Structure 1
Amino acid sequence: MTLLFIVLATFAGGVLSVFIAAFLTYQVLGRVVPHMVSLSTGVLLGTALLHVLPEAFESHADAHELFLTLLVGLLFFFMLEKAELYRHGHHHEGDDPAHHHHHGFDAQQAGRGGWSVLVGDSIHNFCDGILIAAAFLTDVQLGWITAIAAIAHEIPQEVGDTIVLLNAGFSRTRALLYNALSGVAAVVGGVLGYYVIGPFQDLLPYFLVAASSSFIYIAVADLIPQLQRRLHWRETLSQLIWLAAGLGSISLIVSGMHAH
């Protein structure tokens, strides 16, 4: 049953999010994506700091080793991103005049990087799949919360990836197909994680910390810097409200779980 949950959760995070992103129009995109980035930031930080990390530290694992795992995880994802193997950008044409990019800038960039986006997204999804599997192997409820966090940050990412591929010359159908195929990597990672991690229960706290390092890195290195670019007080207030909604939703879920 756990394996079925892992497959369903990774499919939703890796593939279903692609189709949700594809149905967002350019008109809706400009209004929705900034809110989704704020919401995703709250969900990721709430999941990592309020639920997954506490779960790991409540185990019998050594706290110093867990903190070392967290540090190594953050550096690992930093190095992957430096190698352009862990892309997680949400920039799209005309999303923010503060970027000071000339019109067509994204098309030029995408023309050189369309395939690297797909490779990086596949590796990202594969890592997410393994981490979701580790969460489910620890606790089913923890697995679903981790999956929700993955879905929350995958949708705005897939929106950005779709636009990059369209700018690179992919047709809508082809962009959707290739994005969906990269999403299957999450399912592959989840199934592989189930069989590889399962026999080593003592290592589960370390995989949970690795999952947290992924969520924290995305929130701090990618999402929050995007939010800092919008400084008008109304936009700042909107960001804080949506960020609080993300944190609040995770807090309510965690409180509900602990009440049962």
Structure 2
Amino acid sequence: MTLAYIVLATLAGGLLSVTIAAGLTVSLLSRLVPQLVSLSTGVLLGTALLSVLPEAFEGQSHPQPLFLTLLGGLLFFFFLEKVELYRHSHHHEGDGHDHHHHFDQEQAGRGGLSVLVGDSIHNFCDGALIAVAFLADTQLGWMTAIAIVAHEIPQEVGDYLVLLNAGFSRARALAYNALSGLAAVAGGVLGYFLIQPFQELLPYLMVVAASSFIYVAVADLIPQLQRRLPWRATLMQIVWLVVGLGVVGLLLLERGHAH
């Protein structure tokens, strides 16, 4: 049953993002991405700091190795991003960041390969993190999956817009997104079979999952929210961030009642 949950959860992010991208206009998608970024910031930070890390540290008499793992995880994801193997950018022409003309063509790269490869590796890692969470606890798995889905939607929508503005047809851009999303399923299934025999490593792997959430939120999402904006736009950023934290809080309450 755990494997079925992992497959279902890893499929959700890709399917939701492709469905949203297919059903909405480009102008509406461009307006939605900033709100989704704020929402996913709250969900990622709340899940990492209020759920995954406490679960990992529970019952650990020596927390220093876990803190060292957290530091190593942050550095690892920093390195992956430096070599462009862990893309999580939502930037595209028309997103309000004053990108130069042909920015999307540069982002897409030759034939969209950089978008596809970077997102596939990112999604594969996300799938493995979902597997880790489900192996530790089913409810923690769903919380982790929700956090990843919350981030995957603006990420995939942003990449879809990049591909469209780079000259791809709507069908081809959607196909690229769907193909990269399948990497999460592969990561989840492979993670399930590789990690299951080593239950004693789960606390460390959960810390790695939390470091991924924290890194994405702090290194990519929060800097996007720090731009000077009219007070109404700033207020909406805060509202959506609080909504993200509230979603995590409600899930934690539900999980507490279940236990």
**TM-score per shorter chain, which class?**
over 0.9
Name the aligned partner's letter for residue 188 of structure 1.
A
**Structure 1 residue identity aligned to 2:101:** H
Residues 100 and 27 of structure 1, relative CA distance in 2, 3 Å threshold: closer
Deviation of 1:182 (Å): 1.0
| 1:69 aligned onto 2:69 | yes
Measure the CA separation in 2 of the matches of 1:150 and 1:61: 29
1:24-63 CA-partner distances (Å, limit 9, x unpaired): 3222123311111100000000000010000000043631
Q: Over residues 140-180 of structure 1, what are the superposed CA-to-partner deviations in whole Å (9 max), with x where a residue is unaligned? A: 00000000001000000001111122233322111111211
Partner AA of 2:120 in structure 1: S
Partner residue in 1 for 2:229: 231
Q: Distance in 2 between matches of 1:105 and 1:87?
A: 16
What is the CA-CA distance between 1:95 and the residue it aligns to? 1.3
Alignment: residue pair count:
258
Matches of 1:123 and 1:244, distance apart in 2: 30
Q: Distance in 2 between matches of 1:55 and 1:113?
A: 43
Q: Is 1:34 aligned to 2:37, yes or no?
A: no
- Alpha-carbon deviation of 1:103? 3.5
1:108 is displaced (CA, Å) by 4.3
What residue identity is the alignment partner of 2:6?
Answer: I
Q: Which amino acid aligns with 1:215?
A: F
Counterpart position of 1:166: 164
TM-score (norm 1): 0.94
Gaps of 5+ in 1: none
Range that drifts further, 53-62 or 31-40: 53-62
- The answer to which of 232-241 and 36-45 deviates more is 232-241
1:96-128 Cα deviation digits (max 9, x unpaired) = 1xx343334323443447211110100000000
Partner residue, 1:201: 199
Call closer, same or farther: CA 1:113–1:257 in 2, change over 3 Å: same
1:54-133 matched pairs, under 5 angstroms: 54-60=54-60, 62-96=62-96, 99-112=97-110, 114-133=112-131
**Are residue 252 (structure 1) and residue 250 (structure 2) matched?**
yes
Instruction: For residue 186 of structure 1, report the CA deviation from its aligned partner.
Output: 0.4
Counterpart of 2:179?
181
Contact kept? 1:22, 1:159, Cα under 8 Å? no
The question of whether the paired residues in 2 share the 8 Å contact of 1:84 and 1:120 is answered with yes
On the 8 A contact 1:30/1:95 being kept in 2, the answer is: yes
Rounded to whole Å, the distance in 1 between the matches of 2:100 and 2:92 is 12
Which of 192, 213, 219 in structure 2 is aligned with 1:221? Answer: 219
Change (3 A) 1:61 1:158: farther
Q: What is the CA–CA distance in structure 1 between the aligned matches of 2:16 and 2:239, rounded to whole Å?
A: 26
What letter corresponds to residue 126 of structure 2 in structure 1? D
State the 1:230 CA deviation: 4.0
- Residue 209 of structure 2: aligned partner: 211
Counterpart residue identity of residue 19, structure 1:
T
Q: Secondary structure at the match of 1:245?
A: helix
Higher mean C-alpha deviation, range 59-68 or range 237-246: 59-68
* CA separation of 1:108 and 1:211: change in aligned 2, threshold 3 A: closer
Find runs of 4+ consecutive structure 1 residues off by over 6 angstroms.
Answer: none
The CA distance in 2 between the partners of 1:13 and 1:108, in whole Å, is 26
Unaligned runs of 5+ in 2: none
**Could you say what the CA RMSD is over the residues aligned between the two structures, in angstroms?**
1.5
Say which is worse superposed, 134-143 or 29-38, in terms of deviation.
29-38
Distance in 1, matches of 2:117 and 2:36, equals 24
Aligned 8 A contact 1:114 1:164 in 2: no
2 CA distance for matches of 1:200 and 1:61?
19
Q: Distance in 2 between matches of 1:158 and 1:53?
A: 26
